[in-house]
Amino acid sequence: MLGIVGESGSGKSVTALSIMKLLESPPAHYPNGKISFTSNGETRDLLGMSEQEIRAIRGKDISMIFQNPSTSLNPSHRCGQQVQEALMLHTTMTKEEARLEVISLFEQVDLPDPDRIFDSYPHMLSGGQIQRVMISMAISCKPKIIIADEPTTALDVTVQKTIIELLKNLQSTYGCAIIFISHDLGVINEIADEVLVMYKGRVVEKGSTRDLFLNAKDPYTKGLIACRPPLDRNTARLATVSNFLESESFDIVKFNEEHAISIFDTQNRNSSLVARANILEVKNLKKYYVKSRNWYGKAKSFTKAVDDVSFQVKQGETLGLVGESGSGKSTLGMSIVRMLDNISGQVIFEGKDLLTLDNRSMRLARKDIQVIFQDPYSALNPRMKIGVAIQEPMDVHNIYQKSERKQKTLELLELVGLSPEHYERYPHQFSGGQRQRISIARTLAVQPKFIICDESVSALDVSVQAQILNLLKDLQKQFGLTYLFISHDLSVIRFISDRIMVMKEGKAVEIGYKDEILDSPRTAYTQNLLASVPVLKF
């Protein structure tokens, strides 16, 4: 099991796609080098193969599990048929034999009710189930190599753990080699025998997993290891990769000591928050979706996405919201800002119940309550220059004089670590981390008091994640912001939060100060979440 790590743009996926010859050529061009693949005692150069020759190897001898399975599967075909097709292309099985083999594969990857899954379309399954379908397809022809490209990035920690264990079991069963690509060093530590670190298209360090993580030599590798939020202690700031790259003498031990948060610091912070007024109070909030209807169209059963949830958030506090996918975290966040219909209960923001406001009053209230979404690319208009996108909320809410707005936009760009020349660029011209900074600048444009961060760093590399988390803390201190921070990453939640609320199946099962929840969890569900977090420990 070879782990390949590095930031977005480091060349991990390009390397994997080159092995499969899945990059269009041109523009892809290989001026030198070779990719030697040995099968049945014969070694061949994959780069020199024709399209017909490589097609015989793809899926049969070398298979791939992609990062986003929902876009890798055909939405108009049933899941079982797509795996069945791979078997019929590469083997001599009949249609019925291939169907039985697919059912068997679904059982091997622990999919519930394999017959139902076979006849289901991708949109009818959860993220973890779709990934298991992709894994079934990858192992269907018993390949010699499986390339897993970020297969657990978008999954919550419990599903991620089961996928990791599944891949380990499949490797021991079939004896195949696995190339596992990830930017999460905790995952790599759990699964890989050897690690290869890439930076700007080059291999900067490689070795056994234990040796590399214990004795990293390259500054970039040291930075990747250091910028992951710790789960076992509190810190005020995270080191970034740039700290290591800009200074060879950067001392991470000294940095951690300087920014450590003691028990007394935490107690003082908690005491100060108790004395503050509630900025948000949620009472008995419910959001149900119709699950099934009778013959007359009347609802028979419901999915309780948010089920009688109550909590308060203090002025200037960060409440972390955690739970598995489908636990109701994002639905709760969207219900607070009334981006969903048919909600019951009370959402009292600064003394006003948002659920009773008319549309005009709610639009005005949204000036004070903003959302930073998970995917900044889809949250920004691709046809709108980012300067205009940031300035647009000022125009809508009539903030500042018209002549001042461009200057305020330039100031916001600098505030979030971007440059004035970025004003005229479009979203596609930025990296993922830069786009998230643009989204934050747009959020700050209306001078909000309360910000809902909905998985706002989960899709980012650990190095970029550290920068964004530091920025969010700095902005909170500077402007007195209050956050509801939604995430499935408990390490991130520990770093950013004052208190934590744990959700399961639409209910709040546990709420308290972060040290209480993470160091002494009361419920088995929270204990399982913590046990599933991959960590760098030897």
- pLDDT per position as a tens digit, 498-509: 999 999 999 999
Q: What is the mean pLDDT of the chain?
A: 90
- Read off the pLDDT of each residue in 382-410 and give the average, rounded to a whole number: 93
pLDDT given for residue 354 in this prediction = 95
Which residues, in sequence order, are CB contacts of 262 under 8 Å at separation 6+?
Answer: none
C-alpha neighbours within 13 Å on the C-beta side of residue 423: 14
The alpha carbon torsion through 206, 207, 213, 215 (nearest 10 deg) reads -100
pLDDT given for residue 538 in this prediction = 53
Rounded Cα distance between 65 and 73, Å, is 11
Phi then psi dihedrals of residue 393, to 5 deg: -60, -30
CATH superfamily, region 267-531 = P-loop containing nucleotide triphosphate hydrolases (3.40.50.300)
Inter-residue contact 496 to 320 (CB < 8 Å): yes
Inter-residue contact 450 to 476 (CB < 8 Å): no
Rounded Cα distance between 155 and 159, Å, is 6
CA 531 and chain centroid, separation: 19
- Read off the pLDDT of each residue in 209-229 and give the average, rounded to a whole number: 91
- Percent of the chain residues past pLDDT 70, beyond the cut: 99
pLDDT given for residue 513 in this prediction = 96
pLDDT digit string (tens) for 190-203?
899 999 999 989 99
Q: Residue 154: pLDDT above 70?
A: no
Instruction: List, in sequence order, the alpha helices (H) in 281-398.
Output: 329-336, 359-365, 376-379, 386-397
Fill in the DSSP letter of residue 341: S
State the pTM of this model: 0.84
Asked whether this chain's domains 2-217 and 267-531 adopt the same fold, the reply is: yes
- Read off the pLDDT of each residue in 508-536 and give the average, rounded to a whole number: 90
Sign of torsion, CA 206 207 213 216?
negative
Lowest mean pLDDT among 86-100, 148-162, 370-384, 417-431: 148-162
Q: Residue 155: pLDDT above 80?
A: no
The alpha carbon torsion through 407, 411, 413, 418 (nearest 10 deg) reads 120
pLDDT given for residue 67 in this prediction = 74
Residue type for 39, please? S
Helix, strand or coil, per DSSP, at residue 484: strand
pLDDT given for residue 483 in this prediction = 97
Rounded Cα distance between 191 and 536, Å, is 12
Inter-residue contact 259 to 470 (CB < 8 Å): no
Q: Residue 31: pLDDT above 80?
A: yes
- Percent of the chain residues past pLDDT 90, beyond the cut: 58
All structural domains of the chain with their residue ranges: 2-217, 267-531
Q: Residue 167: pLDDT above 90?
A: no
Q: Residue 488: pLDDT above 60?
A: yes
pLDDT given for residue 125 in this prediction = 84
Which residues, in sequence order, are CB contacts of 74 under 8 Å at separation 6+?
Answer: 82, 122
Phi then psi dihedrals of residue 207, to 5 deg: 165, -175
Correct CATH for 2-217 of 3.60.10.10, 3.40.50.1220, 3.40.50.300, 3.90.1150.10? 3.40.50.300
Sign of torsion, CA 468 470 471 476?
positive
pLDDT given for residue 511 in this prediction = 96
Helix, strand or coil, per DSSP, at residue 318: strand
pLDDT digit string (tens) for 420-461?
999 999 998 887 778 888 999 999 999 999 999 998 887 777
